[in-house]
Amino acid sequence: RKKVFKISTGSKQFDSILGGGFQSSSISEVYGEFRCGKTQLSHTMSVIAQLPKEMGGGEGKVAYIDTEGTFRPERIAQIAERYGLDAQSTQENISYARALNSEHQLELLNTLSKEFAGGQYRLLVIDSIMNCFRVDFSGRGELAERQQKLNQFLIRLSHLAEEFNVCVLMTNQVQSDPGASSLFAGADGRKPVGGHVLAHASTTRVLLRKGRGDERVAKIQDSPDCPEREATYVITNGGIND
Ligand code: ADP
Ligand code: MG
């Protein structure tokens, strides 16, 4: 069996509530409202995943599925500089794909399973998991079909994570109706989209929210081995930090 490892978030406090970072061979989800740092975390971990294990990395390549068009190679270069990495090779180690729709998002997993077979990939980012599904199945009557397609995607995703010992980080949006009470409601009353299907697929779920001033707060919502603790972090030029 391949040895499981953890990839650092870039913030020591955030890492500490996760027991070191986000784990390989499993699916982790960070969700929260607009501008709380989901995309910045995705960029930061895409750099850190390439670092040596003793620096919180995974010593490997990264696959990045972008469904919102918010990936910025310039940010990768800035974060690489923080860690003393060469900007160009750091960018080249990230295999980027823009998912055009939910069908395409599923097809991308076929492409990735071929790429992952080489054994060099340690992180797969999906920013964000539900965007295409929400656009493609926006009608009331389409919810059941959406959840069925989503489930198909998540089953394949979880196989990929385990087969190739890859850390899967997916970001997720929250429902715009803060009043909705739910089993999955976060501390601020907001809940992630994707319903039970997504809730069951994520091994670790973390709520991100804005704190005081520039501070952001991460709170573990669901984890097999970590208590529900909070940590603060900030977003800097060099990515997520304390
Ligand atoms: P989300 O994906 O959750 O909507 P983002 O990850 O895009 O949010 O985070 C947006 C926040 O990151 C904004 O508040 C923005 O000011 C901040 N940010 C982006 N780039 C930088 C940077 N280079 N230095 C500091 N903060 C930044
Ligand atoms: Mg974003």
34 lines ligand 1 (CB under 6 A): yes
Res. 227 pLDDT band, cuts 50 70 90? confident
User: Is residue 226's pLDDT more than 90?
Assistant: no
Ligand at minimal distance from the CA of 66 is: 2
- What percentage of the chain exceeds 70 in pLDDT? 94
- Site to substitute for ligand 1 among 35, 130, 209, 242, most atoms within 8 A of C-beta: 35
User: Is residue 183's pLDDT more than 70?
Assistant: no
Q: What is the pLDDT of residue 142?
A: 97
Q: Are 47 and 239 in contact (CB under 8 A)?
A: yes
Q: What is the pLDDT of residue 223?
A: 87
Protein residue whose Cα sits closest to atom 23 of ligand 1: 237
ipTM greater than cut 0.90: yes
Q: What is the spatial distance between Cα 94 and Cα 45, in angstroms, rounded to a whole number?
A: 11
214 lines ligand 1 (CB under 6 A): no
DSSP string across 33-64:
STTSSHHHHHHHHHHHTTS-GGGT--SSEEEE
Q: How far is the CA of 209 from the centre of ligand 1 (A)?
A: 12
User: Is residue 185's pLDDT more than 70?
Assistant: no
Q: What is the spatial distance between Cα 9 and Cα 23, in angstroms, rounded to a whole number?
A: 11
User: Is residue 222's pLDDT more than 90?
Assistant: no
Q: Which atom of ligand 1 is nearest to the CA of 39?
A: 6
Protein residue whose Cα sits closest to atom 5 of ligand 1: 37
Q: Is 152 exposed, middle or buried (0-12, 13-18, 19+ CB in 10 A)?
A: middle
Higher pLDDT, 6 or 184: 6
Q: What is the pLDDT of residue 96?
A: 98
Res. 189 pLDDT band, cuts 50 70 90? low
Residues 123-179: tens digit of each pLDDT: 999 999 999 999 999 998 999 999 999 999 999 999 999 999 999 999 999 998 655
Q: Which atom of ligand 1 is nearest to the CA of 37?
A: 6
User: Can you name the residues that pair with 126 across neighbouring β-strands?
Assistant: 65, 170
Residues 24-67: tens digit of each pLDDT: 999 999 999 999 999 999 999 999 999 999 999 999 999 999 99
> What architecture does CATH give domain 1-241?
3-Layer(aba) Sandwich (3.40)
Q: Which atom of ligand 1 is nearest to the CA of 36?
A: 3
Q: What is the pLDDT of residue 177?
A: 64
Q: What is the spatial distance between Cα 55 and Cα 176, in angstroms, rounded to a whole number?
A: 38
Q: What is the pLDDT of residue 116?
A: 98
Protein residue whose Cα sits closest to atom 22 of ligand 1: 237
Q: What is the pLDDT of residue 61?
A: 98
Sequence-ordered strand ranges (E) for 18-153? 22-23, 26-32, 61-66, 94-98, 121-127
Q: What is the pLDDT of residue 140?
A: 86
72 lines ligand 1 (CB under 6 A): no
> How high does pLDDT run on average in the chain?
94
Q: Which two tokens stand for residue 223?
A: 């984890």
Q: How far is the CA of 69 from the centre of ligand 1 (A)?
A: 14
Could you tell me the residue ranges of all domains in the chain?
Answer: 1-241
Higher pLDDT, 186 or 236: 236
213 lines ligand 1 (CB under 6 A): no
69 lines ligand 1 (CB under 6 A): no
